[in-house]
Amino acid sequence: MRRRILVIDDEEHIRRVMRMTLETAGYEVGEAADGPRGLEAFADGSAWDAVLLDQKMPGMDGLETLRRLKERRGDARVIMITAYASIELAVDAMKLGATDFVRKPTTPEIVRNAVTAALASPAARAVSPPVPAPGKAPAAPVPPITRLTLNGFRLWHATGAEDARPVHPSPRRFVVQHPEGGEEEIVVEIDPGVMAHVEEMTGRRLPAGHAFWTWQAERVLNNFLWTEGKVPPGGRLRIDKVDRDGLQVAAGWQGDED
């Protein structure tokens, strides 16, 4: 039986291109022109293997549509597609349970890779996983939650890394899964001088253990995977600058120690 993909996008020509791309690859494709019609077509989700969902739509936007899709089926595989990409949008989409996040303009190859990777992955996690009943033994360990997925790659924090909450400038460690399978550890180093620069520009001291630097390390690795389409040479990257968007996030960061 052919795998079934639902495309939710308000632009007809985008839906047509997606349909042609996926049908050529052997998928069965359904279409919906906005969030409400997408929810109607999705129903309880049992008829669909994955959803390609546009973010910028009139009325009900992609994030709200994603939230409602996940309410109906917590393990739905939903790939967000947007021309208005930002790290904040990606984080919001992943928090709501998106499986992947693809930026427009895209290509048939990127779309096929994203769908292939989503279908090859375990069913997406529900937003609120069930809590074990009291007195029962804890469930077996589950794979680490993917933080971001781009262009067929997946990345997550290396479990058990000793530098998960470093007290001195030190690397962040991630595991990257290739679109065709296989995993390798990637180290993202933090240049000590860049912390002083962020403090000077924002008036805030964000020590090495601050979650901002973990976020920034994810962002740097994320962008490399997207633009280069491969893992970093030697498995290492270095944060030696923070751009304007990063400085704005640093200045407004809440919820962690200064």
Q: Is the pLDDT of residue 87 over 70?
A: no
Topology of the domain comprising 148-252: Double Stranded RNA Binding Domain (3.30.160)
pLDDT score for 108? 86
Name which of 177, 187, 215, 213 is nearest 99 in CA terms: 177
Strand-pairing partners, residue 238, are 189
Q: What is the pLDDT of residue 256?
A: 52
* Domain ranges across the chain: 4-120, 148-252
More confident call, 223 vs 51 = 51
Lowest mean pLDDT among 87-101, 141-155, 221-235: 141-155
The 10s digit of each residue's pLDDT in 18-28 is 999 999 889 99
What's the CATH code, domain 4-120?
3.40.50.2300
Task: For 190-216, write each residue's pLDDT tens digit.
Answer: 888 999 999 999 998 888 888 888 888
What is the pLDDT, as a whole number, of residue 89? Answer: 72
In this prediction, residue 166 carries a pLDDT of 43
Could you identify the residue written with the tokens 């995977």?
A: 225
**pLDDT, mean of residues 51-62:** 92
Q: What is the mean pLDDT of residues 177-202?
A: 89
Those residues whose C-beta lies under 8 Å from the C-beta of residue 60, and which sit 6 or more positions away, are 34, 35, 36
pLDDT tens by residue, 111-149: 888 898 888 866 544 443 334 444 444 443 334 444 445
Higher pLDDT, 109 or 7: 7
Q: Tokens in use for 238? A: 């270095």
The whole-number pLDDT of residue 94 equals 74
**What is the share, in percent, of the chain residues with pLDDT greater than 90?**
34
Task: Please report the pLDDT score of residue 227 as a whole number.
Answer: 76
Give the helix/strand (H/E) hosting 248.
helix 244-252
Q: How far apart are CA 258 and CA 254, in angstroms?
A: 9
Instruction: Quote the pLDDT of residue 251.
Output: 83
pLDDT higher than 70, residue 109: yes
More confident: 222 or 9: 9
* Neighbour tally for 18: CB within 10 Å: 25
Q: What is the pLDDT of residues 30-39, one digit of tens each?
A: 999 999 999 9
DSSP of 65-114 = HHHHHHHH-TT--EEEEESS--HHHHHHHHHTT-SEEEESS--HHHHHHH
Model pLDDT, residue 136: 45
| Section 39-59 average pLDDT | 93
Provide, rounded to the nearest whole percent, the portion of the chain with pLDDT above 70: 79
pLDDT at 159: 59
* pLDDT score at 139: 43
Lowest-pLDDT range of 72-76, 88-92, 107-111, 131-135: 131-135
Find out whether 148 and 188 touch, Cβ atoms under 8 Å: no
Return the pLDDT at 218. 82
